[in-house]
Amino acid sequence: MSTFFPRKEDITRKWYVLDAAGLPLGRVATFAANLLTGKRNPKYTPHMDMGDHVIIVNADKAVLTGKKMKFKAYRRHSSRPGGLKEVAAEHMFAKHPTRPIELAVKGMLPKTKLGRAMYRKLNVYAGSDHPHAAQKPEKLEVAL
């Protein structure tokens, strides 16, 4: 008996829509990361990009539990002395409503070429409209 390895031709990618309105940001991000990696696929292979395309709508209506909206900080560094920039979550949601979900999902994916390929299949929109109707996406409910 030999191990089955799917070929590129065997991979069929689906499109899914997740509605983030009123749901915790981390739950939506975890569900999206699992779809992007392809872990729901019975033919899942860790070294291949088996994931599906994910569209997240209503990203501006996602919630952070507790006091995270006020005290959670998104940090980045320019690699220069004194180059640490820090933005509170409430300012991030106000200025770039899609970025908190994008950063959360990106942090859950592999830090390799494979992870970057998976991340390119993520589309996040602040409102309820998206331009991917031609792909006939399937609506999924995020399991809580």
Residue 117 CB-density burial (10 A; 0-12 exposed, 13-18 middle, 19+ buried): middle
Cα separation, 100 vs 32, whole angstroms: 13
What element of type H or E holds 21?
none
For residue range 76-88, list pLDDT tens digits in order.
999 999 999 999 9
pTM: 0.92
Domains of the chain: 14-63+98-140 (3.90.1180.10)
8 Å CB contact between 25 and 64: yes
Q: Lowest mean pLDDT: which of 47-51, 99-103, 127-131, 132-136?
A: 47-51
Structure tokens at 5: 């390895």
For residue range 48-77, list pLDDT tens digits in order.
999 999 999 999 999 999 999 999 999 999
